[in-house]
Homo-oligomer: A and B are copies of this chain.
């Protein structure tokens, strides 16, 4: 196991309204030097597994500009500066799905592409939901799609359910649920 490379110099390579890209001059333990770039992904985000009941997760279908298509995935959003991840999950749930939750659990934290993006997504499981909509900033209403947790194969076969974070989150949530007292075996 090597000692971590030293960051000799860092500079802002580009900045847009949303993104910042940083260039890092690195000195590796073996003497090699490289310049790597990374995207500074802003504050953390939350990805929410919202259970309408013990067998049903609520998916969100919305326009995904990166891929220029509608994508089915888990509700997600940015953690505001100083905001607690669970509070952020609750806010996003109200804005995107129109539901509040009496129970919220932080069950995992994920990186996106650790080689070149500085960003952490917190995976939150929400249950015991109740209607409680809040105004979001979405350009059009998000379509909420209830999906049976047992129907993961059919979901994975869809061409519009592709996001690694959503896929990882559903598997992790099923394991977490199975590990709870009275939980069924994960499959």
Residues of A bordering B, CB below 8 Å: 1-2, 4-5, 7, 13-19, 21, 23-24, 26, 28-30, 32, 34-39, 61-71, 73, 108-121, 139-140, 143, 156, 162-165, 167-169, 171-172, 185-187
How many copies of this chain are found per oligomer?
2
On whether the beta carbons of B70 and A1 are closer than 8 Å, the reply is: yes
On whether the beta carbons of B113 and A165 are closer than 8 Å, the reply is: yes
On whether the beta carbons of A70 and B186 are closer than 8 Å, the reply is: no
The smallest C-beta distance from A77 to any residue of chain B, in angstroms, reads 10
The smallest C-beta distance from A69 to any residue of chain B, in angstroms, reads 7
Taken together as a complex, chains A and B put the C-alpha atoms of A64 and B73 apart, in Å, by: 26
B residues less than 8 Å from A15 (CB atoms): 14
